[in-house]
Amino acid sequence: MANRRLPPRNSARLVWETKPAGEPQAGEFIFQAEELVIPQAGQDEMPQQEIAAGNPDRNRLIYGDNLQAMLALLAEGYEGKINLIYIDPPFFSQANYSHRVPITGTAAGQEVPVIERPAYQDTWAGGIDAYLDMLYPRLQLMKKLLAPDGSIYVHLDASISHYIKVIMDEIFGPVSFQREIIWRIGWISGYKNAVRNWVRNHDTLLFYVKNPEKFTFNKEYIPYPPGYRRRGGQETTGKGYPIEDVWNANPMEFELKGEESLDSIQIKSFSREKTGFATQKNKSLLRRIIKASSNPGDLVADFFCGSGTTLVVAAELGRRWLGCEMGRTGLQVARKRLVAAGTGPFIIEKVQPAGLPGDRMPPVTRDQACPGIDEQPRLITRAEIKPLASGREEITVVLEGYSLPAVPAGQLSRKDNNRLEAVNLVSRENFAHLIDYWAVDWDYDGRVFKSRWQAWRDCGKNVPPVPVLARAILATTKERTIAVQVVDIMGNEILTVIEVVSPAATRVPFVTPKGSHRQCKHPVKPGRVTTAGHPNDDLAPGALNSILKQAKLKEEK
């Protein structure tokens, strides 16, 4: 009897009506550098450290659509260059998430109001098809970006992981699947206990590799105690006891290693690690993944980086890193965490279609920048330069006032109106409580903001306000353009520019006139500012220099 033709193996696929056909096609997307961050918290002497735009070792925080970002990375030659990818995409939860910011500065004994800034949306009008349409092409691009010995971890929950497992088998191949890791929540409280059936108590991580024959994996061991011998008295040459239960090892085992246990998803409420960003993951989880599946110097990427946990841990472990985030809130939280961790220089870029103008941002009107708001944020700054010996000068920038935009009556709910009243009360006592983060570029070139001094507000209910004075000691120059970047607790981001003239020839301090700068989010054009006396007039750099020189003459008199 003739042999029957056997059906092909591994032909199972997940099918839905709108499933993308083939891989995403290369598009004309490029990166526009917005900010170079050189963490220098508390330092006056500024090292002249630069990072070339084409430096492959630079750490990158990308703002924008991660699909466009990955296409742009492939165009830059990143195919096969990323050693480890960890992603924590939306879980198809049909909910929206926020970043909770306590309003500090309230009187003792009063309830601390909390501002909820939108972080990201996980609602899908097109249902499961729309969610899969989003993730499927992105996983295809991640496979291309992975190095030959690379690994990928996809963090999900039970509502969607079974769909993504089948898709991962299709893209990477069933043989590339290594483990389904169950990470338990640890303890349950509040409304989660009110469910009618079994309580949800875990997340799921899918672990795949590019090549199952060759991939990086560093097993964890607990060293043998001093004097340990095998049964029979022989000395041992092994590395120690292997931790068999990788995710729920006995806490004592981790204590012996000097590390945290991984027995819970939640970050303890009193932990300094907590940022208030919804769905933030533990550093201990990322530490374990990065140590296991990469080596020092490797490139680690997170294309849904949120609050930046992956990037912070990668930097702490000596890995290079690359992160992408579509929400401005997540980007701001990640930047602050990276600066606070002292991770070293990194660049913030925006992914955009090729051919757009080269300014940091296209011109925006007030209504576009702050829709529905009568007034933009108001910032008052002052700069002072004092000559020093040996061709150097001391520069001081002071924040002297800040106010939030005015919100028209009737546009807020009662709850939000109460929060706004609390904010206004705090700001009257000390405006610095309104500032979440600020930074200074002592030599702004009008294109890329080089953050060389930073101050930030810690997380928590009873934290002090940010300092309002920044100081640097730099080589003397005839003229200097200083840029000040401020992010307030509502997420408004302002960049303002101060033009100053060095007083080295006269040997007297030079103080700029107080300026009230109202540019929302990003400057419309380099060098344009708004002064307190003329709240609606943009001054050209020449006119501004004239005002500053007049102020200098008054100081000399």
For the segment 281-308, what is each residue's pLDDT rounded down to a tens digit?
788 889 989 999 999 999 999 999 888 9
Q: Please identify, among 288, 322, 353, the residue that sits at the C-terminal boundary of a domain.
A: 353
Beta-ladder partners of 299: 320
Is the model's pLDDT at 504 over the cut of 70? no
Lowest-pLDDT choice from 25-34, 89-98, 194-203, 331-340: 89-98
Task: Tally Cβ neighbours within 10 Å of residue 323.
Answer: 30
Domain match, 344 and 440 both: no
Structurally, the chain folds into a number of domains equal to 2
Chain segment 202-249, per-residue pLDDT in tens: 889 999 999 999 999 998 777 777 777 777 667 777 777 666 544 444
For residue 45, being part of any structural domain is answered with: no
pLDDT on residue 371: 40
Domain match, 342 and 417 both: no
Residue 271: band (very low, low, confident or very high) from pLDDT cuts 50, 70, 90: low
Is the model's pLDDT at 413 over the cut of 90? no
Q: Please identify, among 353, 378, 404, the residue that sits at the C-terminal boundary of a domain.
A: 353
Domain match, 339 and 436 both: no
Residue 554: band (very low, low, confident or very high) from pLDDT cuts 50, 70, 90: very low
For residue 108, being part of any structural domain is answered with: yes
Is the model's pLDDT at 512 over the cut of 70? no
Domain match, 176 and 277 both: yes
Interval 262-283 mean pLDDT: 56
Is the model's pLDDT at 503 over the cut of 70? no
E runs forming strands in 442-478? 449-451, 453-456, 469-475
**Six-digit token string for 394:** 């001391």
Q: Please identify, among 318, 353, 388, the residue that sits at the C-terminal boundary of a domain.
A: 353
E runs forming strands in 391-447? 392-403, 435-441
For residue 9, being part of any structural domain is answered with: no
Interval 463-483 mean pLDDT: 88
Is the model's pLDDT at 509 over the cut of 60? no
Q: Does 413 or 91 have the greater pLDDT score?
A: 91
pLDDT on residue 397: 93
Share of residues in the chain with pLDDT > 70 (%): 61
Q: Which amino acid appears at position 539 of this protein?
A: L
Residue 280: band (very low, low, confident or very high) from pLDDT cuts 50, 70, 90: low
Write the CB contacts of 160 (distance below 8 Å, at least 6 apart in sequence).
91, 92, 128, 131
Please list, residue by residue across 132-167, b when 16 or more beta carbons sit within 10 angstroms of its beta carbon and e when fewer do: bbbbbbbbbbbbbbbbebbbbbbbbeeebbebbbeb
Domain match, 330 and 374 both: no
For residue 23, being part of any structural domain is answered with: no
CA distance 479 to 395: 12
Lowest-pLDDT choice from 188-197, 298-307, 330-339: 188-197
Q: Does 177 or 257 have the greater pLDDT score?
A: 177
Domain match, 325 and 378 both: no
Q: Which of 505, 506, 498 is nearest to 548 (CA)?
A: 498
**Six-digit token string for 265:** 């998803």
Domain membership of residue 425 as a residue range: 368-556
pLDDT on residue 178: 96
Q: Which amino acid appears at position 156 of this protein?
A: L
Alpha helices in 232-306 (DSSP H): 251-257, 283-293
Place of tokens 């409420």: 269
Contacts 24+ apart (CB under 8 A), 368-375: 369/520, 369/521, 370/405, 370/492, 370/520, 372/408, 372/411, 373/405, 373/406, 373/407, 373/408, 374/405, 374/406, 374/407, 374/408, 375/405, 375/406, 375/518
**Six-digit token string for 96:** 């929206």
Is the model's pLDDT at 384 over the cut of 90? no
Q: Does 411 or 243 have the greater pLDDT score?
A: 243
Residue 350: band (very low, low, confident or very high) from pLDDT cuts 50, 70, 90: very high
For residue 35, being part of any structural domain is answered with: yes
The DSSP symbol for 21 reads P
Domain match, 247 and 139 both: yes
Domain match, 548 and 475 both: yes
Interval 432-442 mean pLDDT: 90
Domain match, 333 and 396 both: no
Residue 532 phi, psi (nearest 5): -60, -35
Residue 511: band (very low, low, confident or very high) from pLDDT cuts 50, 70, 90: low
Please report, for the domain that includes residue 314, its CATH number: 3.40.50.150
CA distance 352 to 63: 9
The pLDDT mean for the chain works out to 74
Task: Rank 146-155, 343-352, 411-420 by mean pLDDT and report only the highest.
Answer: 146-155
Domain match, 317 and 448 both: no
Residue 43: band (very low, low, confident or very high) from pLDDT cuts 50, 70, 90: low
Domain match, 422 and 280 both: no
For residue 209, being part of any structural domain is answered with: yes
Interval 366-384 mean pLDDT: 60
pLDDT on residue 267: 44
Domain match, 528 and 489 both: yes
Chain segment 101-124, per-residue pLDDT in tens: 666 655 545 566 676 766 766 667
For residue 3, being part of any structural domain is answered with: no
Is the model's pLDDT at 56 over the cut of 70? no
For residue 361, being part of any structural domain is answered with: no
Interval 459-485 mean pLDDT: 86
